[in-house]
Amino acid sequence: MNVLIDVLNFISQQILNVPAYLIGIVAAIGLIALKRSAGQVIAGGLKAAMGYLILGAGATVVTDALAPFGQLVFKATGAHGVVPTNEVITAQASSQFGAASAYIIVLSFIIMLLLARFTPLKYVFLTGHHMVFMSTLLALVLSFGFGAKNQLLVVVVGAVLMGVIMVVMPSFTQPFTNRVTGSDQLSVGHFGSLGYLLSGSIGTVVGKKSKSTEDIDFPKGLSFLRDSMVSTTLLMVVLYLVFSIWAAIVKPWSVIKKIFPGNITDYGAFFMAAFAQALQFGIGVSIILYGVRIILGELVPAFQGIAKKVVPGAKPALDIPIVFPYGPNASLIGFLSSFLGGLVALVIIAVWLGPVWGLALILPGMVPHFFDGGGAGVFGNATGGRRGAIVGGFINGLLITFLPAILMTVMGSFGLSNSTFGDTDFCWYGTIVGKLAGFGPVAGGISLIVFAAILFAVACVWQVKVVNKGWLPGAEHVKFVESVKEQEKAEKAAARAAKKAAKAEAKA
Sequence-distant (6+) residues with CB within 8 A of 79 are 73, 346, 361, 363
- What tens digit of pLDDT does each residue of 230-239 get? 767 887 888 8
pLDDT at 280 over 70: yes
Strands, sheet with 123-125, edge to edge from the N-terminal-most edge strand: 123-125, 315-318, 187-188
Domain assignment present for residue 405? The answer is yes
Q: Examine the pLDDT at 18 and tell me if it is beyond 70.
A: no
Dist. CA 220–CA 228, nearest whole Å:
16
**Residue 471 domain-assigned?**
yes
Residue 180 and residue 190 in contact, taking contact as beta carbons nearer than 8 Å: no
Number of domains comprising the chain:
1
Q: Is the CB of residue 248 less than 8 Å from the CB of residue 274?
A: no
Whether residue 233 is contained in a domain is answered as yes
Please report the pLDDT score of residue 17 as a whole number: 60
Is residue 64, in this structure, part of any structural domain at all?
Answer: yes
Question: Worst-scoring range by mean pLDDT, 92-96, 302-306, 367-371?
Answer: 302-306
What sections of 349-423 are H helices per DSSP? 354-357, 366-407
**pLDDT tens-digit readout, 436-494:** 999 999 999 999 999 999 999 999 999 999 999 999 998 888 888 788 777 778 777 77
- Asked if pLDDT for residue 220 goes beyond 80, the answer is no
Helix axes 19-33, 128-146, angle to 10 degrees: 120
Most confident of 75-79, 112-116, 257-261: 112-116
Q: Which amino acid is at 84?
A: P
Region 68-94: mean pLDDT is: 76
Can you give the pLDDT at residue 188? 95
pLDDT higher than 80, residue 1:
no
- Residue 364 DSSP code: P
Helices then strands, counting H and E runs in the chain, come out as 16, 5
Statement: residue 56 has pLDDT above 80: no
* Strand residue runs (E) in 196-323: 315-318
**What pLDDT score was predicted for residue 10?**
78
Instruction: Note whether residue 508 is domain-resident.
Output: no
- Count of all residues that appear for the chain in the document: 508
**Residue 12: what pLDDT?**
66
Q: Is pLDDT above 80 for 177?
A: yes
CA-wise closest residue to 282 among 239, 342, 244: 239
Lowest mean pLDDT among 38-47, 361-370, 398-407, 496-505: 496-505
Residue ranges in 408-440 assigned as alpha helix (H): 424-437
- Where is pLDDT greater, at 302 or 192? 192
Evaluate if residue 226 carries a pLDDT over 60: no
Phi/psi of residue 372, nearest 5 degrees: -70, -45
Give the angle subtended at the CA of 95 by the CAs of 103 and 434, to the nearest 5°: 65
Nearest to 89 by CA among 351, 390, 367, 414: 414
Residues 6+ apart with CB under 8 A from 13: 102, 132
- Is the residue at 507 inside a domain? no
Mean of the per-residue pLDDT values for the chain? 85
Assign 508 a pLDDT band (cuts: 50, 70, 90).
low
In a domain, 36, yes or no: yes
Torsion of CA 24, 30, 32, 35, to 10 degrees: -140
3-state SS of 123-191? EEECCHHHHHHHHHHHHHHHHHHHCCCCHHHHHHHHHHHHHHHHHHHHHHHHHHHHHHHCCCCCEECCC
3-class DSSP state of 185: coil
Q: What is the predicted pLDDT for the residue at 217?
A: 67
Phi/psi of residue 187, nearest 5 degrees: -135, 160
Q: Distance between CA atoms of 451 and 439, rounded to whole angstroms?
A: 13
Of residues 307 and 318, the one with the higher pLDDT is 318
CB 82, CB 361: distance < 8 Å: yes
Q: Taking each helix axis from N to C terminus, what angle separates 19-33 and 38-77, rounded to the nearest 10 degrees?
A: 150
Q: Over the range 289-303, which residues count as b (16 or more CB within 10 Å of their CB) and which as e?
A: bbbbebbbebbbbbb
In a domain, 477, yes or no: yes
Average pLDDT over residues 411-417: 74
What is the share, in percent, of the chain residues with pLDDT greater than 70?
A: 91
pLDDT in tens, 125-155: 988 778 878 988 999 999 999 987 888 999 9
Has residue 383 got a pLDDT over 80?
A: yes
pLDDT at 305: 67
In this predicted structure, what is the pLDDT of residue 228?
61
For residue 222, pLDDT beyond 60: no
Structural domain of 389: 2-502
Residue 299 has pLDDT above 70, yes or no: no
- Percent of the chain residues past pLDDT 90, beyond the cut: 37
Q: What is the rounded CA–CA span in Å between residue 235 and residue 216?
A: 15
pTM for the full predicted model: 0.80
Mean pLDDT across the stretch 283-308?
A: 72
